[in-house]
Structures are given as C-alpha cells and as structure tokens.
Structure 1
Amino acid sequence: MIGKIIGAFVGDKVAKQTSGVGGATGAALGVVASTVLRRMSLPAMIALGAGGYVVKKLIDKNEQKKSATAANDTDQTPPATSKAPAAVA
C-alpha cells in the first residue's frame, strides 16, 4: 500500500514535468510502474535499465547531429541566383 502511494506521488511529480501527461495520468502510471517493477526479476530490471540508457544516448546523439547541421546551415551564404557579372565599384 505504501509503495503504491509513493509510486503515485512520484508519477504525479514526473507528469508535471512531462508535456502531454496530466497529474492523474502520471499518478496512475506511477502505481502501475511500481507494481510492474515489484514483479520483475533482477535480470529483467537490469535489461530494462540498460535499454533505457541506450535509447537515451541515441536520442541525444540524434539531437546533437540535428543541432550541428542546423548551425552549419545558418552559417552558409545562400547561393547566387544571378548569372550576371558582379558590378565593380
């Protein structure tokens, strides 16, 4: 019972920081997560944690690539559209 209350509290706090998930939904997810974690074996928990770590690293790497290409695109000058010779001043 105490574990469900703690899970609901933590789920509610996480939901407030996550867009698209309300407080009640987060509390319900916290209760479900605590129940699922209690029934999982230790190797399954380790595999779940390692998988989450790998996914987070891949997401961060993709975001870093996108931001690097966006920064490179803004530094370049646009291509010349005119074929006429430049005017000499």
Structure 2
Amino acid sequence: MANTAQSKKRARQSEARYAVNKARRSRIRTFLRKVEEAIASGDAEVAAAALKAAQPELARGVSKGVLHKNTVSRKISRLASRVKAVVKA
C-alpha cells in the first residue's frame, strides 16, 4: 500500500494511464477486427479501406507506447499481404 504522498500520486497516475492504455488497446483491436472481418468476407474494397483506416491507429499505438514498433510493423505487413491476396482473388 502506498504510504508517502509521492507514492500515492504515482498510484493514481498509474491507474489513469492504465485506463487510457486499455481504451487505446481496445480501439486498436476493434480496427484490426474490422480488417479481419473484411478479409473473411472477401470484399476487396472494404478490406483495403479497413486496412487504410487501421494503419494510423496502429502507428498511434506505437507513438503512445501501447504497442512495440516491431509488433505493429509485423501486423501491418501481414494484414497488407492478406488484403493483397483478397484483391487478386
């Protein structure tokens, strides 16, 4: 349990950051789910649009420290290749 004023403040700040980061992660997952659903439906235009909308959200997650740069890079790369396959098909 926090005893000093500083440790109490840090605990409050930690809870606030946790809530913000949780919301941000949830938002990113929603964008990723939309891309996945568009790929599964086989609609090339919707999939491409969903990916285009998801990319800035993922990049924002990196800049805010919610996700690692390489993780996001890998996700975007894999999604892009899957969307490209849907477009070709």
TM-score, shorter chain, exceeding 0.5:
no
TM-score per shorter chain, which class?
Answer: 0.3 to 0.5
Structure 2-normalised TM-score? 0.40
Structure 1-normalised TM-score? 0.40
Q: Which has the higher contact order (CA 8 A, sep 6+)?
A: 2
Q: Which structure shows the higher helix fraction?
A: 2
Structure with the greater alpha carbon radius of gyration: 1
